[in-house]
Amino acid sequence: MEIKIIKSVETYPLRIEILRKGIAKDFQFVGDDVATTFHLGAFMHDECIGILSCMKKEHALWNETHVYQLRGMAVKSDLQNSGVGKALIIESLKILKERDCKLVWCNARETAVGFYEKMNFKTIGSRFQIPKVGPHFVMVFTLE
Ligand SMILES: CC(C)(COP(=O)(O)OP(=O)(O)OC[C@H]1O[C@@H](n2cnc3c(N)ncnc32)[C@H](O)[C@@H]1OP(=O)(O)O)[C@@H](O)C(=O)NCCC(=O)NCCS
């Protein structure tokens, strides 16, 4: 498996397939193409099997300015639970550290909270709903 930086457009098929369940709606994010954003793709035999987007975005909960949000994390259904997501997170944290990022947060789907906990993210606050997507928790990881 190879992890590399990809263009936003290359994330769209998996966003639609995994995160929007085939509904080609709301799969483009504000900030997808700003200079500070980067997108990672996990590739196997030239096929993109996992994606993750990292966007410089402050959060009201923290005063830090070097703050990034993880978004649009998805792994192909038949390859979930085989280490692809973990490899994407590790690579993102390596790049974010190089960018002097101090804190990473995400709106984690309730079903994915256990995954982020394994990646040493901590849950902050209470469960909240994102319309049409479902229950989420804010989760955070502090870079040393
Ligand atoms: C959540 C997701 C990105 C995780 O990626 P993945 O490749 O399946 O995860 P990995 O195989 O790298 O798992 C790493 C560890 O987390 C665990 N894990 C994975 N998904 C989990 C989940 N949903 N709940 C609890 N633990 C989970 C794995 O068992 C593994 O544990 P181990 O290190 O003890 O073996 C992926 O399953 C996915 O795309 N899910 C559907 C879309 C989604 O929910 N995206 C996140 C939106 S916030």
SS3 track for 66-119:
CEEEEEEEEECHHHCCCCHHHHHHHHHHHHHHHCCCCEEEEEEEHHHHHHHHHC
Q: What is the mean pLDDT of residues 115-121?
A: 98
For ligand 1, say whether the CB of 139 is within 6 Å of any of its atoms.
Answer: no
Q: What is the mean pLDDT of the chain?
A: 95
**Nearest Cα residue to atom 37 of ligand 1:** 80
**Nearest Cα residue to atom 3 of ligand 1:** 74
Domains in the chain, start-ordered, CATH in brackets? 2-101 (3.40.630.30)
From first CA to last CA, the distance across the chain in angstroms is 27
- Produce one character per residue of 59-86: b if its CB has 16 or more CB atoms within 10 Å, e if not: beeeeeeebbbbbbbbbbeebeeeebbe
The pLDDT value recorded for residue 65 is 84
Q: Is the pLDDT of residue 144 over 90?
A: no
Read off the pTM: 0.97
Closest-lying ligand 1 atom to the alpha carbon of residue 116 = 16
pLDDT tens per residue across span 25-79: 889 999 999 999 999 999 999 999 999 999 999 888 888 889 999 999 999 999 9
Which positions ≥6 away from 133 have C-beta within 8 Å?
109
**Residue with token string 């804010």:** 138
Which structure tokens are listed for 63? 């005063």
Q: How many angstroms separate the alpha carbon of residue 144 from the centre of ligand 1?
A: 24
Q: Is the pLDDT of residue 82 over 80?
A: yes
Q: How many angstroms separate the alpha carbon of residue 26 from the centre of ligand 1?
A: 23
